[in-house]
Amino acid sequence: MTKPIKRRDFMRNSAVAGLTLAGTKSSVLQFPNIMVQSGVKPIVISSANGNKFKNGGDMTAVQKAFTMITQGADVLDAVIAGVNIVELDPLDDSVGYGGLPNADGVVQLDSSCMHGPKKRAGAVAALEGVRTPSLVARAVLESTDHHLLVGKGAQSFARNMGFNIEDDLNTDHSRQLWLEWKRRTDPAHYLDPKARAEVWRREGLKMVEEGLVDREHYYGTINCDGINSKGEICGVTTTSGLAWKIPGRVGDSPILGAGLYVDGAVGAAGSTGRGEANLYNLCSFLIVEEMRRGAHPKDAGMEALKRIKANTIEKRLLNSKGNPNFGINFYILNARGQYAGVTMYPGASFAICNESGPQTLACEALLSGKPND
Ligand code: ASP
């Protein structure tokens, strides 16, 4: 017996069929990738820290964002309110207040945000003194004709927009860790710049191995993307960047197409991990374009990881197996509410929140083993 198909179910089933068919070249031509814009189940996806830190409150980032989305808030406002919890929580030393500082002991923050339906974007890089760079990124989106403000200019802009500028965003914890790093690397100041950069990296990673710095926080960031029942998608990425970075170093997080990319009709992708690898390959853009051609979020993410692996050829970045010796993760959501978390090596996780509540799930890995095998 055949049951009558409700319009909503028909659209959902056709969408899934379209996804499967779109795997072949000819079907891409026959079935242009028109995304279903209604009947989507709201969902929020983020890096794992989005379901860990609460800043003394009762909700994690993904819970907060999901709650706001289902209450009808703008999706960008919701995901930013979510990441604000992590930015403000001193316990997450990879984002916002208390983020691990640069080589001079100064916390410099990067953030970007994109609004799918409005097709607008804003970002800040190397911003000092503001605990919530994602809110400054949103102010760039809302109040300027630009997409990216950096350094002192970004700080002046924030001051003019009424943000409180603080002298120092270190916590005792981040300052102690910086002092430890400084103590270990001081003798290295007499090395040539290339050798010094290597020592900085080696000592930093040693502090990770010794458990002084959380592996997730040496590189560490929060990316959070959400979709509401109208199919509206927005995303935000915010970070203190690479621990002990050269002052002024900007990673992938504030760069559109790298740390974040949103196309309201297709989906969103964001990243945590070695920003340089992502900047070189502009993976969030690549992932969204793969989805536009019909790829499932997981397959789109795997394509990006393969691209990174193929373009990583410098010996210092390879392990004994000839594979990348660093971690990188992508968090991906399409306009149908399908999602994936992918990673170079097993061990990374990601967070989601949907009608069943918040969950932390394992990312699918491209390679087996560990970065430093
Ligand atoms: N991707 C960020 C950066 O390179 C850091 C991170 O996610 O760990 O600045």
pLDDT of residue 136: 98
Nearest CA, atom 7, ligand 1: 272
Give the residue, by CA position, lying nearest to ligand 1 atom 9.
Answer: 241
- Cα–Cα distance, 224 to 111 (Å, whole number): 12
Q: Which of 60, 185, 221, 239 is catalytic?
A: 221
What pLDDT is attached to residue 188? 52
Task: State which ligand 1 atom lies nearest to the alpha carbon of 219.
Answer: 8
Pocket lining: 254 vs ligand 1, CB cutoff 6 Å: no
The two structure tokens encoding residue 232: 């509206």
Ligand 1 touching residue 253 (CB < 6 A)? yes
CA 114 to centroid of ligand 1, rounded, Å: 18
CB 251 within 8 A of CB 276: yes
Q: Is 258 within 8 Å of 125 (Cβ atoms)? A: no
What residue owns the CA closest to ligand 1's atom 1? Answer: 275
Pure H helices in the chain = 7-21, 25-30, 61-70, 75-88, 133-143, 151-160, 172-185, 193-209, 215-218, 275-281, 283-292, 297-311
What is residue 219's predicted lDDT score, i.e. its pLDDT? 64
The atom of ligand 1 lying closest to the CA of 94 is 8
Which residue is closest in CA terms to ligand 1's atom 4? 275
The angle at the Cα of 319, spanning 314 to 322, to the nearest 5 degrees, equals: 70
pLDDT in tens, 101-138: 999 999 999 999 999 999 999 999 999 999 999 999 99
What is the CA(123)–ligand 1 centre distance, in A?
15
Q: Check residue 49 and give its pLDDT.
A: 96
Residue whose C-alpha is closest to residue 248's, from 81, 127, 94, 82: 127
Residue 67 falls in the annotated catalytic set: no
Which residues of the chain register pLDDT less than 70?
1-38, 186-196, 215-219
151-176 per-position pLDDT tens digit: 999 999 999 999 999 999 999 999 99
Ligand 1 atom showing the smallest separation from residue 275 Cα:
4
> Is the CB of 220 inside a 6 Å radius of any atom of ligand 1?
yes
Please give the distance, rounded to the nearest whole angstrom, from the Cα atom of residue 329 to the centre of ligand 1.
Answer: 10
Whole-angstrom Cα distance, residue 120 to residue 102? 30
What separation in Å is there between the alpha carbon of 118 and the centre of ligand 1? 27
Residue spans of the domains in the chain: they are 48-276
pTM score, two decimals?
Answer: 0.84
- Going by the DSSP 8-state scheme, the letter that residue 318 receives in this structure is B
Cβ-proximal residues to 207 (8 Å cutoff; 6+ apart), any chain: 177, 180, 181, 184, 213, 218
